[in-house]
Amino acid sequence: MVRSALRSLSSVAICVASVTAATAWSDGPRGAAPQAQKTTAQPAGDATLEIQILLDRAGFSPGEIDGRSGANTSRAIAAFETARRIQAGDRAALLEALGRGQFDVLVPYTITAEDAGGPFTPSIPKDLMEQSKLPALNFTSVIEALGEAFHASPALLRRLNPNARFVEGESIQVPNVAGGGTVATPPADTRVVISKEASVATVYDGSGKVIFHAPVTSGSERDPLPIGTWAVTAVIKNPTFNYNPELFWDADPSHAKAKIPAGPNGPVGIVWIDISKEHYGVHGTPEPGRIGYTSSHGCVRLTNWDAARLAALVKKGTPVVFEQ
């Protein structure tokens, strides 16, 4: 799946550390994106998988697509129903509004030489000081890269392709998310609202219409979300993380300041959206399966693909509201 390389922009403060922009890199498979087409049937009984894919394509992200019911999927359904004025629980109306039947939810994808060639970082230590010794924090494997490209958990890809080796030239079945949730021409005026209680980010256009919705992880008891209205000051793609252990309450006492290399498995993922509240921002994550379910060090994190979609909808000055 084609994704544009991420270019450097500037340096900004970040949460309790800082980021700087690194050199360009590609954050997923670089072959041709699968097109919506009538080529494959949905596996019997995978109703949750189908609705997750439909929601993702509609711009109401369920987070990591895994085929399992959960809070993120339920929130996305509720948000879509509210935005489209569909009675809660009316599954037929929901599926019709999501475009069920207009395309298959799964499509074939042929793994390219670029997909298989990486570069990869097979083993990534959890310790930040050890991470700082690595040249980059790339994907660990082909299947992790494919998972990010198609917004899916590696476990789901294995389930959909039980006999696959995930090697160059192999055709596999993947979620049909090509172009899903992408606004061709972002509105001139948008507003981002981050809800602490609901653990979601919602983007509105100038008329108040919801144009994007996604699960987030935001703040904790020790690092609460700074409630209030802020503004975007910069968008940094492919950020390098400048780690300062003095600013982390749970840092290892033996740690020193260090620069953590860029990459999709870096502490802030593939993009950092800086806001006017010092040390705070919205960014990606190396752990998409945990979004919406765990706390953070005060900042707001999304899956890498949702962070990228959000970054495409904001610019310097875009209001960002943190609410209870």
Q: pLDDT tens-digit profile of 48-60?
A: 999 999 999 999 9
Six-digit token pair at 249?
């309450």
Rounded-to-integer distance, Cα 313 and Cα 105, Å:
25
Say if residue 230's pLDDT is above 70.
Answer: yes
**pLDDT at residue 13 in the model:** 34
* Phi, psi angles (nearest 5°) of residue 257: -60, 140
Residue 135: CB atoms within 10 Å: 9
Residue 131 belongs to what H/E stretch?
A: helix 128-131
Q: How far is CA 248 from CA 159, 203, 222, 239, 302, in A?
A: 39, 30, 10, 19, 21
- In the structure, what pLDDT confidence band is assigned to residue 29 with cuts at 50, 70 and 90? very low
Superfamily of domain 11-25+181-323: L,D-transpeptidase catalytic domain-like (2.40.440.10)
- In the structure, what pLDDT confidence band is assigned to residue 27 with cuts at 50, 70 and 90? very low
Residue 37: CB atoms within 10 Å: 11
71-127: per-residue pLDDT in tens? Answer: 999 999 999 999 999 999 999 999 999 999 999 999 999 999 999 999 999 999 999
Q: State the pTM of this model.
A: 0.85
**pLDDT at residue 255 in the model:** 80
Six-digit token pair at 165?
């080796």
* Phi, psi angles (nearest 5°) of residue 116: -75, -20
Share of residues in the chain with pLDDT > 70 (%): 79
**pLDDT at residue 290 in the model:** 92
SS3 for 37-101, per residue? CCCCCCCCCCHHHHHHHHHHHCCECCCCECCCCCHHHHHHHHHHHHHCCCCCCCHHHHHHHCCCC
Six-digit token pair at 80?
């879509």
- In the structure, what pLDDT confidence band is assigned to residue 178 with cuts at 50, 70 and 90? confident
Do the beta carbons of residue 272 and residue 12 sit within 8 Å? yes
- In the structure, what pLDDT confidence band is assigned to residue 318 with cuts at 50, 70 and 90? very high
Six-digit token pair at 50?
């189908």
E-state strands within 135-238: 171-175, 190-195, 200-205, 210-215, 217-218, 228-237
Rounded-to-integer distance, Cα 320 and Cα 105, Å:
33
Rounded-to-integer distance, Cα 151 and Cα 155, Å:
12
Read off the pLDDT of each residue in 139-162 and give the average, rounded to a whole number: 98
Q: How far is CA 256 from CA 15, 49, 130, in A?
A: 17, 44, 11
